[in-house]
Copies of this chain bind each other. A is one copy, B any other.
Protein backbone atom coordinates (compact mmCIF):
# COMPACT_ATOMS: atom_id res chain seq x y z
CA UNK A 1 0.00 0.00 0.00
CA UNK A 2 2.52 2.60 1.16
CA UNK A 3 6.28 2.50 0.75
CA UNK A 4 8.35 1.63 3.81
CA UNK A 5 9.61 5.20 3.86
CA UNK A 6 6.05 6.45 3.98
CA UNK A 7 5.11 4.06 6.77
CA UNK A 8 8.05 5.24 8.85
CA UNK A 9 7.12 8.81 8.02
CA UNK A 10 3.58 8.40 9.25
CA UNK A 11 4.57 6.60 12.42
CA UNK A 12 7.35 9.06 13.22
CA UNK A 13 5.06 12.02 12.74
CA UNK A 14 2.38 10.58 14.98
CA UNK A 15 4.90 9.80 17.68
CA UNK A 16 6.51 13.22 17.53
CA UNK A 17 3.08 14.81 17.69
CA UNK A 18 2.12 12.75 20.71
CA UNK A 19 5.24 13.90 22.54
CA UNK A 20 4.82 17.48 21.39
CA UNK A 21 1.37 17.55 22.97
CA UNK A 22 3.21 16.97 26.23
CA UNK A 23 5.70 19.67 25.33
CA UNK A 24 8.52 17.20 24.79
CA UNK A 25 11.06 17.27 22.02
CA UNK A 26 12.31 13.87 20.92
CA UNK A 27 15.63 12.71 19.52
CA UNK A 28 16.05 10.42 16.56
CA UNK A 29 16.94 7.60 18.93
CA UNK A 30 13.69 7.99 20.81
CA UNK A 31 11.74 7.97 17.57
CA UNK A 32 13.33 4.81 16.25
CA UNK A 33 12.81 3.13 19.58
CA UNK A 34 9.16 4.10 19.63
CA UNK A 35 8.38 2.95 16.12
CA UNK A 36 10.94 0.16 15.81
CA UNK A 37 12.74 1.38 12.71
CA UNK A 38 16.36 1.61 11.52
CA UNK A 39 17.94 4.75 12.91
CA UNK A 40 19.97 6.11 10.00
CA UNK A 41 17.21 5.45 7.54
CA UNK A 42 14.61 7.06 9.75
CA UNK A 43 16.90 10.06 10.01
CA UNK A 44 16.53 10.57 6.25
CA UNK A 45 12.80 10.24 6.58
CA UNK A 46 12.68 12.93 9.25
CA UNK A 47 14.81 15.22 7.13
CA UNK A 48 12.30 14.88 4.34
CA UNK A 49 9.40 15.54 6.67
CA UNK A 50 11.17 18.69 7.75
CA UNK A 51 11.75 19.80 4.16
CA UNK A 52 8.05 19.39 3.58
CA UNK A 53 7.32 21.51 6.65
CA UNK A 54 5.52 18.71 8.45
CA UNK A 55 7.84 18.60 11.45
CA UNK A 56 10.40 20.97 12.99
CA UNK A 57 13.83 20.23 14.37
CA UNK A 58 16.33 21.92 16.63
CA UNK A 59 19.99 21.07 16.91
CA UNK A 60 22.09 20.86 20.00
CA UNK A 61 21.43 19.85 23.58
CA UNK A 62 17.75 20.01 24.45
CA UNK A 63 16.98 19.89 20.74
CA UNK A 64 15.12 17.25 18.81
CA UNK A 65 12.01 16.97 16.66
CA UNK A 66 8.65 18.53 17.35
CA UNK A 67 5.40 19.63 15.77
CA UNK A 68 3.54 22.69 16.90
CA UNK A 69 -0.08 22.42 17.79
CA UNK A 70 -1.40 24.32 14.80
CA UNK A 71 0.54 22.16 12.36
CA UNK A 72 -0.59 18.86 13.83
CA UNK A 73 -4.19 20.02 13.45
CA UNK A 74 -3.63 21.06 9.88
CA UNK A 75 -1.47 18.24 8.54
CA UNK A 76 -3.33 15.13 7.41
CA UNK A 77 -2.19 11.68 6.38
CA UNK A 78 -2.57 12.80 2.80
CA UNK A 79 0.18 15.37 3.20
CA UNK A 80 2.60 12.76 4.48
CA UNK A 81 1.70 10.13 1.92
CA UNK A 82 2.06 12.72 -0.81
CA UNK A 83 5.53 13.65 0.45
CA UNK A 84 6.83 10.11 0.05
CA UNK A 85 4.69 8.31 -2.50
CA UNK A 86 3.34 11.17 -4.58
CA UNK A 87 -0.20 11.11 -5.88
CA UNK A 88 -0.29 7.78 -7.66
CA UNK A 89 -2.35 6.28 -4.87
CA UNK A 90 -4.99 8.99 -5.35
CA UNK A 91 -4.90 9.39 -9.09
CA UNK A 92 -3.07 6.39 -10.52
CA UNK A 93 -4.68 3.52 -12.40
CA UNK A 94 -5.03 0.29 -10.44
CA UNK A 95 -3.59 -1.65 -13.35
CA UNK A 96 -0.81 0.79 -14.06
CA UNK A 97 -2.13 2.47 -17.19
CA UNK A 98 -0.35 5.73 -17.90
CA UNK A 99 -3.28 7.63 -16.54
CA UNK A 100 -6.59 6.72 -15.02
CA UNK A 101 -9.30 7.89 -17.38
CA UNK A 102 -13.01 7.33 -16.93
CA UNK A 103 -13.73 7.61 -20.64
CA UNK A 104 -11.12 4.98 -21.49
CA UNK A 105 -11.18 2.91 -18.33
CA UNK A 106 -9.11 -0.15 -17.55
CA UNK A 107 -11.06 -3.31 -16.67
CA UNK A 108 -11.09 -2.58 -12.94
CA UNK A 109 -11.60 1.16 -13.13
CA UNK A 110 -15.19 1.47 -11.93
CA UNK A 111 -14.82 -0.78 -8.93
CA UNK A 112 -11.32 0.38 -8.14
CA UNK A 113 -12.09 4.08 -8.30
CA UNK A 114 -14.64 3.70 -5.52
CA UNK A 115 -12.11 2.10 -3.20
CA UNK A 116 -9.45 4.59 -4.15
CA UNK A 117 -11.72 7.56 -3.55
CA UNK A 118 -12.68 6.17 -0.16
CA UNK A 119 -9.02 5.89 0.71
CA UNK A 120 -8.38 9.42 -0.50
CA UNK A 121 -11.17 10.79 1.69
CA UNK A 122 -9.82 8.91 4.66
CA UNK A 123 -6.32 10.25 4.16
CA UNK A 124 -7.58 13.78 3.60
CA UNK A 125 -9.78 13.83 6.66
CA UNK A 126 -7.47 12.25 9.20
CA UNK A 127 -5.33 14.80 11.01
CA UNK A 128 -2.11 13.94 12.76
CA UNK A 129 -3.43 15.42 15.97
CA UNK A 130 -6.40 13.08 16.04
CA UNK A 131 -4.08 10.11 15.63
CA UNK A 132 -1.66 11.42 18.24
CA UNK A 133 -4.47 11.82 20.75
CA UNK A 134 -5.64 8.28 20.16
CA UNK A 135 -2.12 7.07 20.69
CA UNK A 136 -1.80 9.05 23.88
CA UNK A 137 -5.05 7.58 25.13
CA UNK A 138 -3.68 4.06 24.73
CA UNK A 139 -6.18 3.34 21.98
CA UNK A 140 -3.55 2.59 19.37
CA UNK A 141 0.04 1.41 19.10
CA UNK A 142 3.05 2.12 16.93
CA UNK A 143 4.79 -1.21 17.17
CA UNK A 144 3.98 -4.82 17.81
Which of A25-33, A57-65, A88-96 is the interface stretch? A88-96
Closest to A89 in B: B1
Minimum Cβ distance to chain B for residue A84 (Å): 13
> Contacts A77-B108, A115-B122 known; A97 to B131 CB distance under 8 Å?
no
A135 touches B107 (CB 8 A): yes
- Chain B residues, Cβ within 8 Å of A109: 140
Number of chain A residues whose Cβ lies closer than 8 Å to a Cβ of chain B = 40
What's the nearest-Cβ distance from chain B to residue A99, in Å? 7
The answer, among B10, B95, B104, B143, for a CB contact under 8 Å with A10, is: B95
CB of A98 within 8 A of CB of B131, answer no
**Chain B CB within 8 A of A38 CB:** no
Q: How many chain copies?
A: 2
Complexed CA–CA distance, A97 and B35 (Å): 9
Question: Which residues does chain B contribute within 8 Å of A108, judged by CB atoms?
Answer: 10, 77, 126, 131
Q: Which residues of B contact A98 (CB under 8 A)?
A: 144
- Interface residue A79 (Cβ < 8 Å from any Cβ of B): no
B77, B134, B144: the one contacting A99 at CB < 8 Å is B144
Given the known inter-chain contacts A2-B94, A97-B143, A119-B115, please indicate yes or no for A14 contacting B134, CB distance below 8 A: no
Q: Please pick, from B77, B106, B119, the residue contacting A142 in the complex, using a CB distance under 8 A.
A: B106
Q: Which 3 A-B pairs have the closest CB atoms?
A: A7-B96, A98-B144, A107-B131
